[in-house]
């Protein structure tokens, strides 16, 4: 099932449900449980075989270890690529976006970090972010940028958490930047250095 989130501030992204649309090509990116959103979409497509014949699927195992690469490979898309991490598939994704022809459909499903970064790459390639269909599935871990050192920590589970770059203890705001593809992390003990509340697992 697609993930439902509690109400949050207005900059927080809202995700939809992937729906196959007519297109000259289909770029499909997923991580972790996002694979299920892809198989659901293909199952509901009116002409799945024709769609798959023009599809390029990029899949990354999820942050909690979910790996459904073989399920997606078995769909028989024109191109399928399993990447060990999102960072590793970035050059390939950038090439596909740069080569994209008018009418190519873009779909992304899985965790917020991967959804946000695919939208970010689409924007960098000159496409409107609204052109990317999104669906959240699986882990709710967050990608968070430290507002102080600007370093990004991936797959944040707890609030607060230590910045993986500068080490400051950060609390996780719901404020989200599409351009950076990350939530904002702010030093929690700036006013009282050393007084850090115990971390709570908010994102699983």
Partner 1 sequence: MGLEFNDETFRGDYTFRNSAKAIARFPFPFAEDSYMYSVNMEPHLPGRPGSVFEHMFDVDEHYVAEMRDRAQVLAEDPLRCQSLPHMTLAGWDLLELIMESKARDYPQWFSLTKDGNRWHWINRPLQIEQSFTFLDETTLPYGPMEYITRQTQGDFTLQDQRDDNLWIEAGMVTTQADWSLDFDIGMSFHEWHAPVPLAHEMRVFDRALKFLLNLQLGAPVRRFNWTMTVDPLLDTSPENYPKWGPSKTTMTPETIGHRQHLRVELQTLHRLPRSNAIVFPIRCYLIKFEELVTVPKWARRLHRVVRDIPDELATYKGFIRNKPLMLDYLSKYDDGAPTSPGIWPE
Residues lying near partner 1 in the complex (CB under 8 A) are found at 9-12, 145, 147-148, 150, 168, 173-180, 184, 186-187, 190-193
Contact by Cβ (8 Å): 33, 125: no
Q: How far is the CB of 48 from partner 1 (least distance, A)?
A: 34
| Closest separation in Å from C-beta 202 to partner 1 | 17
Number of C-alpha atoms within 13 angstroms, CB side, residue 203?
25
When the beta carbons of 11 and 94 are compared against partner 1, the nearer one is: 11
Which of residues 16 and 193 has its CB atom nearest to partner 1 in the complex?
Answer: 193
For the CB of residue 187, give the shortest distance to partner 1 in the complex, in Å: 5
Residues 70-74: contacts with CB within 8 Å, 24+ apart? 71/35, 71/39, 72/30, 72/35, 72/38, 72/39
Nearer to partner 1, 111 or 169 (CB): 169
Which is closer to partner 1, CB of 86 or CB of 176?
A: 176
Beta-bridge partners for 105: 26
CB 39, min distance to partner 1, A: 32
Report residue 193 as tokens. Answer: 């250095």
Instruction: Kindly state the tokens that stand for 6.
Output: 């509690």
Q: Which is nearer to partner 1, 15 or 80 (CB)?
A: 15
Nearest approach in angstroms of CB 179 to partner 1 is 4
Distances, alpha carbon 203 to alpha carbons 5, 105, 159, in Å: 11, 30, 8
Work out how close the CB of 172 gets to partner 1 at its nearest, in angstroms, rounded to a whole number: 13
Which one, 191 or 201, has the nearer CB to partner 1?
A: 191
- Which residues 6+ apart lie within 8 Å of 15 measured at CB? 2, 3, 115, 134, 135, 136
Percent helix, percent strand, percent coil in the chain, to nearest 5: 25, 30, 45
């Amino acid at each position: 099932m697609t993930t439902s989130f509690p109400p949050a501030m207005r900059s927080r992204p809202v995700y939809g449900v992937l729906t196959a649309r007519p297109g000259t090509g289909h770029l499909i990116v997923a991580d972790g449980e996002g694979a299920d959103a892809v198989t659901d979409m293909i199952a509901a497509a009116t002409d799945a075989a024709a769609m798959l014949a023009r599809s390029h699927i990029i899949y990354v195992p999820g942050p909690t270890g979910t790996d459904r690469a073989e399920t997606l490979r078995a769909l028989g898309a024109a191109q399928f690529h399993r990447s060990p991490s999102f960072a590793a598939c970035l050059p390939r994704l950038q090439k596909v976006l740069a080569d994209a022809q008018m009418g190519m459909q873009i779909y992304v499903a899985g965790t917020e970090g991967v959804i946000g970064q695919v939208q970010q790459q689409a924007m960098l390639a000159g496409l409107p972010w609204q052109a990317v269909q999104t669906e959240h599935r699986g882990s709710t871990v967050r990608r968070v940028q430290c507002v102080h050192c600007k370093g990004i920590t991936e797959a944040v589970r707890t609030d607060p958490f230590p910045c993986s770059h500068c080490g400051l203890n950060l609390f996780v705001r719901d404020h989200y930047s599409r351009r950076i593809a990350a939530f904002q992390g702010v030093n929690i003990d700036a006013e009282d250095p050393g007084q850090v509340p115990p971390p709570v697992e908010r994102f699983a």
